[in-house]
Amino acid sequence: MSEREAVTAARPAAPAARSASSAPAGRAVVMDGAALARKVRHEVAARAAGFAARTGRRPGLAVVQVGEDRASSVYVSYKRKACQEAGIESFGHDLPAATAESQLLALIAELNRDERVDGILVQLPLPGGLSPDRIMDAIDPRKDVDGFHPVNFGLLAQKRPRLRPCTPYGVIRLAQEYGIALRGVKATVVGDSTIVGRPMAMELLLAEATVTVCHIATRDLRADVERAEVLVSAVGKAGLIRGDWIRPGAAVFDVGISWAANGKLCGDVEFERAAERAGWITPVPGGLGPMTIAMLLSNTIDAACARAGTS
Ligand code: GUN
């Protein structure tokens, strides 16, 4: 894909795209990430079947978990189940929390060599003592379906994306689905993590938004949120973004996940009050969570086709 095509691919179709000033009237449209994720997974399943027919093998994804972090175990089980449903072979590797870095690096080297494995995902966070940077750096960039390797992050930053981080890619896909304009709009990203915030800023730049990134040292978060026509929050702190800060008509993507005292899953944004002002908003759960897994499968089939030299 040429640089120009890459930029165009990331942009919603111009005639249909709408921004805060032309958002739907009344309460926000609640973006159905679960429904779009189903659609993406069906597309992946069809591509996986075609890949198997052409190559004689199913695409393969290795999902590695170290330790028994409860939330990670839930995410990993979703990822493995989604693989099976899409016709992608899942190779599970569950290692004890006491695994030495050299052992994990040896497993990654083996997976890099394994012809059946098209994608490698090491679930984060890793137990203390294991360097996520050294582990991510060791994954073959062509199998880096998380898009976290410096090569893939660098390619995205240079406007020639290859394997794109799943959650930010899911935000872009949802925006396209709902005809939300990104080109030229003021976008604010809250959170500067390497998993979501930073690649999200790169995706929005690729789509030609004007991007502000807020982080721990940001002085006036409210002001940066209030000017946002597109807001992506990825912090994991319930109630961080007050509903009355939302710009009328804005598109709000809530990537934050935390658990309330009653065990309920919460996003960063005060949903009910925000929905009275926003043009579009994602729910938690049912927004970016399912989209992240769908884009992981999409990256896996992309990686498989690129490795096999098929379309
Ligand atoms: N932990 C939380 N989100 C993710 C993700 O998207 N990929 C990996 N590997 N670990 C995570």
pLDDT band at residue 7 using 50, 70 and 90 as cut-offs: very low
Domain identity same for 169 and 280: yes
DSSP string across 199-247: HHHHHHHHTT-EEEEE-TT-S-HHHHHHT-SEEEE-S--TT-B-GGGSP
CATH of the domain at 220: 3.40.50.720
Q: Phi and psi dihedrals of 180, rounded to 5? A: -90, 125
Q: First-to-last CA distance in the chain?
A: 12
Say whether both 85 and 119 belong to one domain: yes
Q: 111 CA to middle of ligand 1, Å?
A: 18
Output the CA–CA distances (angstroms, integers) from residue 311 to 29, 55, 297, 302, in the order listed: 35, 12, 16, 8
In terms of domains, do 114 and 190 share one? no
Mutational test site, ligand 1, from 78, 80, 146, 255, max ligand atoms within 8 Å of CB: 146
What is the rounded CA–CA span in Å between residue 170 and residue 69? 24
Selected residue with higher pLDDT from 271 and 22:
271
Q: State phi, psi for 212 to the nearest 5 degrees.
A: -115, 135
Who's near 18: CB < 8 A, 6+ residues apart? 24, 179, 180, 181, 279
Mean pLDDT value of segment 259-274: 94
pLDDT tens digits for 248-264?
A: 999 999 999 999 888 89
State the distance from the centre of ligand 1 to the C-alpha of 26, rounded, in angstroms: 35
Question: 99: which DSSP letter?
Answer: -
Q: pLDDT band at residue 16, thresholds of 50, 70 and 90?
A: low
Active site (catalytic) residues: 79, 123, 146
Q: What is the reported pLDDT for 21?
A: 83
Total number of domains in the chain: 2
pLDDT digits (tens, 9 = 90+) for 41-64: 999 999 999 999 999 999 999 999
Question: What whole-number distance in Å separates Cα of residue 296 and Cα of residue 299?
Answer: 5
Q: What pLDDT, on a 0 to 100 scale, did the predictor assign at position 1?
A: 40
At residue 14, does pLDDT exceed 50? no
Atom of ligand 1 nearest to the CA of 124: 10
From the CA atom positions of the chain, what is the Rg in Å? 19
- Tens-digit pLDDT profile for residues 63-85: 999 999 988 999 999 999 999 99
Ligand 1 atom 2, closest CA: 124
Is residue 89 included in any domain, yes or no?
yes
pTM of the shown model: 0.93
- Residue 217 sits in the same domain as residue 280: yes
Q: Is the CB of 268 under 6 A from ligand 1?
A: no
Q: Domain check: are 62 and 115 in the same one?
A: yes
Report DSSP state, residue 186.
Answer: E
Q: CA torsion 43→47→50→52, rounded to 10°?
A: -120
- For residue 201, being part of any structural domain is answered with yes
pLDDT digits (tens, 9 = 90+) for 171-227: 999 999 999 999 999 999 999 999 999 999 999 999 999 999 999 999 999 999 999
Q: Is 210 left (phi over 0), alpha (psi -120 to 50) or beta?
A: beta
Query: Can you tell me which atom of ligand 1 is nearest the CA of 122?
Result: 9
- Domain extent for 250: 165-289
CATH code for the domain in which residue 134 is found: 3.40.50.10860
| Same domain membership, residue 175 and residue 138 | no
- Is residue 121 in contact with ligand 1, taking CB distance under 6 Å? yes
Closest Cα partner for 160 from 298, 282, 9, 278?
A: 9
pLDDT score, position 24: 84
| 7 assigned to some structural domain | no
